[in-house]
């Protein structure tokens, strides 16, 4: 992994961190202090859902931070794809929290969870909204890493570092492919909606990244030997 030397935070990173901070605030802003036990019980749903949503937001921030620690890019193309990423993160804060509440409510049978999804049509639309955001986020990361790969000469990347950029690009495409598969399932298979399969399909990400990681390590060893 290429980690740059300690340097001042760029304006792109500072602005991006501000957007992530606003997104985290929007996730928690609707939580209120409970006035009785029933409200406390209902509040648990929002608190746990906030935990899932916050974890997803931290994952995206971590990937973003990793990219800008690796590559000191501040050109126009980087700004464009970074702006698309930040726009999607801000726009999808509430859909992300809504889905988290639905996920938690499927395990914790709270009365406040009723009415979240009233039909298969609404469930399909929810999966489509989430899938579109998921695809946009990781496609933005893929395009950023592809741009870094193309700028390898300017960035003075070694062959191993170029390989890491390309490998991470394909890693991001795995997320995109799974998101697209989820959207296709939601659009074409009504039976799968009964079991929320467009949502559960995201569970294969772990397996796919395991195989990608194994292939990455083998190729990295070969490059290290050649070096």
Q: Tell me: the pLDDT tens digits for 164-214? A: 999 999 999 999 999 999 999 999 988 888 888 998 899 999 999 999 999
**Cα–Cα distance, 143 to 32 (Å, whole number):** 39
Q: Global pTM?
A: 0.85
Q: Are 223 and 160 in contact (CB under 8 A)?
A: yes
**Secondary structure (3-state) at 117:** coil
pLDDT beyond 70 at 40: no
pLDDT value for 139 = 97
pLDDT of residue 194: 83
Average pLDDT over all residues of the chain: 84
Closest CA to 193 of 119, 100, 124, 129: 124
Per-residue confidence band for 112, with pLDDT thresholds at 50, 70 and 90: very low
Cα Rg of the chain, angstroms: 20
Task: Give the integer Cα–Cα distance in Å for 194 and 191.
Answer: 6
Neighbours of 49 (CB within 10 A): 24
């Amino acid at each position: 992994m290429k980690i740059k030397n300690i340097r001042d935070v760029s304006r792109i990173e500072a602005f991006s961190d501000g957007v992530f901070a606003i997104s985290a605030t929007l996730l928690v802003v609707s939580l209120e202090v409970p006035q009785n036990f029933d409200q406390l019980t209902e509040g648990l749903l929002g608190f746990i859902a906030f935990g899932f949503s916050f974890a997803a937001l931290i994952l995206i921030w971590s990937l973003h931070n990793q990219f800008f620690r690796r590559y000191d890019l501040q050109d126009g193309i980087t700004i464009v794809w970074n702006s698309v990423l930040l726009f999607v993160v801000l726009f999808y804060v509430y859909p992300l929290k809504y889905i988290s509440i639905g996920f938690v409510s499927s395990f914790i049978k709270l009365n406040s969870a009723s009415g979240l999804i009233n039909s298969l049509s609404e469930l399909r639309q929810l999966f489509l909204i989430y899938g579109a955001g998921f695809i946009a986020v990781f496609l933005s990361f893929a395009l950023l890493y592809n741009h870094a790969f193309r700028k390898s000469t300017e960035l003075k990347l070694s062959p191993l570092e170029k390989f890491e950029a390309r490998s991470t690009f394909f890693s991001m495409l795995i997320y995109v492919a799974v998101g697209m598969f989820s959207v296709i399932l939601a659009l074409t298979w009504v039976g799968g909606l009964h079991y929320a399969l467009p949502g559960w399909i995201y569970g294969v990400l772990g397996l796919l990244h395991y195989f990608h990681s194994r292939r990455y390590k083998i190729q990295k060893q070969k490059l290290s030997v050649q070096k």
